[in-house]
């Protein structure tokens, strides 16, 4: 055995063992020649599950889905050249959503860089705008420096796998040929596991207390990536504080009386209200109207995020607190504000009135909102509903009143790419139903290959309105009507039945929404339900609903 082969084997086996030691159970590999050493090392490790995906862009989003479902770091591996470039959309999503994606790119050795060699591009710092940490590994040789580089840099990267600095990291591996490691050198593969670090932080609550002693407060909760939020409910119950719960917070499924699910519809109806303080928790919410209100309201706002770099959007907070929600609200319970039960009761009354209108809408209408609302009612606590961006996530915000299902989406960069793949990634650990529009579905049809190759079950509900339905609500529709359909409506005229056959999915098309409402969802296997809807009708019925909301307003009255 050559010295090169043993050095290469020791390097990649040690690195993969370190991935496992620091919490990586799943690795998504896109086949290629230069990545051979890493792929074989992962396949040989006794406790790492490998997923083979031929499309790097979809593969990276598939990994994000596994992260969302497992709350553990996941690695992705590809060959050199443009293969690595295809990771960029998912890496940017992971960065904004703070998902611990471990990007491992294979590279040509230094002597083949910038000389016109095939499959060689500049991969150094190629994700620098979207990674928390990055390192270009040395070429494997017999010195201890090769292994020291792995040990030292994994220590630096590990702090981004969990806690307030969570996010993607990038390791670039240049390899010289021959690329085949010696699989008999099992002594370089380790199965030890690092004891997980629990991040805790205490703060001086005296500065915060002065802001939250007043009676009329609101808690706004966005996506918190699976963190425990039970103390928010306790705080709300003690202090009579309404909770405006974004669907991605997953607080609505608890059916707590203080959770207000209809705030988006209320604000779309022109709700005007001025609280005395607001506590914002987690990432920014989906609702544009709630964000606009948060931007304009005059009272102090406290932002609570277990994150070293807080999200100021939509308004720079008065105070930013780096703390887990439960740690913050456990301390906030000891603050004694002026009690005003009437404040909470009025919110609950408005919520009930809005719920009645929305329930009637779901039952009677035949548009996309009614599809989403009726679908959510069929879900159990065992279900996860992954929601596409643009209209589906907005409809879930409006029509998810108290569904028992877990709600998930890619709301970091808010893109329409990779939605199918992320949902399929979640299906590794959860029972997933994907709700998606036709444009977004088309954008990631390649991702469906994982259902076929790995026998992953998923139910897909494709709302096919033959174009970009979200644009019907935006300025181009009214201000540039002659250009609207070509530039924004973008009808595709696709029959997705062919897609279902290609990827071996069960298939059914519904031209009547009322018929779909009666459909029983499958318990096993993969199915595509294509529901034909009308963009114009959808826009009109939504606007009629929000017009009715104008009758629901907060009325100030003496205490």
Q: What is the mean pLDDT of each run of 10 residues along the chain (559 residues)?
A: 90 97 97 96 97 97 98 97 96 97 95 84 94 96 93 95 94 95 91 72 79 93 94 94 97 96 95 95 96 96 92 93 93 77 94 97 94 95 95 96 96 94 98 96 96 96 86 66 78 92 96 86 90 90 93 64
CATH for 3-181 (1.10.730.10, 3.40.50.970, 3.40.50.300, 3.40.1190.20): 3.40.50.970
The CATH code of the domain at 365-547 is 3.40.50.970
pLDDT value of residue 341: 84
Please check whether residue 421 is in contact with residue 475, taking contact to mean a CB–CB distance below 8 angstroms: no
Please check whether residue 410 is in contact with residue 62, taking contact to mean a CB–CB distance below 8 angstroms: no
Domain ranges for the chain, please list them: 3-181, 206-353, 365-547
Element holding 478 (H helix, E strand) = helix 475-479
Residue position matching structure tokens 């201000």:
479
Q: How far apart are CA 465 and CA 119, in angstroms?
A: 40
Q: How far apart are CA 321 and CA 536, in angstroms?
A: 44
pLDDT value of residue 557: 45
Residue 53's closest CA among 434, 417, 451? 451
The separation between the first and the last C-alpha atoms of the chain, rounded to the nearest angstrom, is 86
Element holding 389 (H helix, E strand) = none
Say which CATH superfamily domain 206-353 falls into. TPP-binding domain (3.40.50.1220)
pLDDT value of residue 555: 64
Q: Which two tokens stand for residue 16?
A: 């993969």
pTM surpassing 0.85? yes
Please check whether residue 516 is in contact with residue 533, taking contact to mean a CB–CB distance below 8 angstroms: no
Burial (CB count <10 Å: 0-12, 13-18, 19+), residue 52:
middle
pLDDT value of residue 558: 37
Q: Which two tokens stand for residue 194?
A: 């690092």
Q: Do domains 3-181 and 206-353 have the same CATH topology?
A: yes
Q: At what angle do helices 3-21 and 145-158 cross, to 10 degrees?
A: 20
């Amino acid at each position: 055995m050559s010295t090169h082969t043993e050095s290469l084997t020791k390097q990649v086996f040690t690195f993969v063992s370190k991935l496992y030691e620091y919490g990586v159970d799943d690795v998504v590999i896109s086949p290629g020649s230069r990545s051979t050493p890493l792929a074989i090392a992962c396949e040989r490790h006794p406790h790492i599950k490998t997923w083979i995906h031929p499309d790097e862009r979809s593969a990276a989003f598939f990994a994000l889905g596994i992260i969302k479902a497992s709350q553990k770091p996941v690695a992705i591996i590809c060959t050199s050249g443009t293969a690595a470039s295809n990771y960029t959309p998912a890496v940017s999503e992971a960065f904004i959503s703070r998902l611990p994606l471990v990007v491992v790119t294979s590279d040509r050795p230094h002597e083949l860089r910038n000389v016109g060699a095939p499959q060689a591009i500049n991969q150094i710092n190629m994700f620098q705008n979207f990674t928390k940490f990055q390192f270009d590994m040395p070429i494997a040789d017999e010195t201890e420096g090769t292994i020291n580089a792995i040990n030292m840099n994994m220590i630096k990267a590990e702090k981004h796998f969990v806690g307030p600095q969570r996010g993607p990291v990038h390791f670039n591996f240049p390899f010289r040929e021959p690329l085949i490691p010696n699989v008999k050198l099992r002594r370089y593969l380790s199965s030890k596991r690092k004891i997980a670090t629990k991040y805790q932080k205490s703060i001086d609550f005296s500065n915060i207390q002065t802001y939250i002693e007043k009676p009329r407060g609101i808690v706004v909760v966005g996506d918190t990536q699976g963190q425990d939020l039970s103390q928010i409910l306790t705080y709300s119950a003690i202090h009579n504080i309404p909770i405006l719960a974004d669907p991605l917070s997953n607080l609505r499924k608890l059916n707590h009386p203080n959770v207000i699910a209809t705030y988006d519809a209320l604000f779309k109806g022109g709700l005007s209200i001025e609280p005395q303080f607001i506590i914002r928790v987690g990432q920014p919410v989906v609702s544009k109207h709630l964000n606009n209100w948060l931007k304009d309201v005059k009272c102090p706002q406290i932002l609570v995020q277990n994150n070293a770099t807080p999200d100021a959007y939509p308004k720079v907070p008065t105070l930013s607190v780096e703390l887990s929600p439960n740690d913050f609200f456990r301390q906030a319970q000891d603050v004694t504000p002026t009690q005003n039960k009437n404040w909470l009761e009025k919110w609950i009354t408005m919520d009930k009135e809005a719920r009645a209108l929305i329930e009637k809408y779901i039952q009677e209408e035949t548009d996309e909102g009614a599809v989403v609302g009726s679908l959510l009612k069929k879900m159990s606590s065992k279900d996860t509903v992954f929601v596409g961006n643009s209209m589906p996530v907005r409809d879930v915000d409006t029509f998810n009143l108290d569904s028992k299902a877990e709600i998930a989406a890619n709301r970091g960069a808010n893109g329409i790419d990779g939605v199918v793949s992320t949902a399929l990634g979640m299906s590794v650990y959860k029972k997933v139903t994907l709700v998606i529009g036709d444009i977004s579905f088309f954008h990631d049809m390649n991702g469906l290959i994982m259902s076929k190759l790995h026998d992953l079950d998923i139910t897909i509900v494709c709302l096919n309105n033959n174009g970009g339905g979200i644009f019907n609500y935006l300025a181009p529709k009214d201000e540039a009507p002659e250009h609207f359909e070509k530039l924004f409506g973008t009808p595709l005229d696709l029959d997705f039945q062919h897609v279902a056959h290609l990827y071996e999915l069960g298939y059914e098309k519904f031209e009547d929404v009322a018929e779909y409402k009666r459909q029983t969802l499958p318990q096993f296997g993969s199915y595509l339900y294509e529901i034909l809807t009308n963009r114009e009708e959808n826009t009109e019925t939504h606007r009629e609903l929000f017009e009715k909301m104008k009758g629901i307003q907060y009325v100030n009255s003496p205490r």
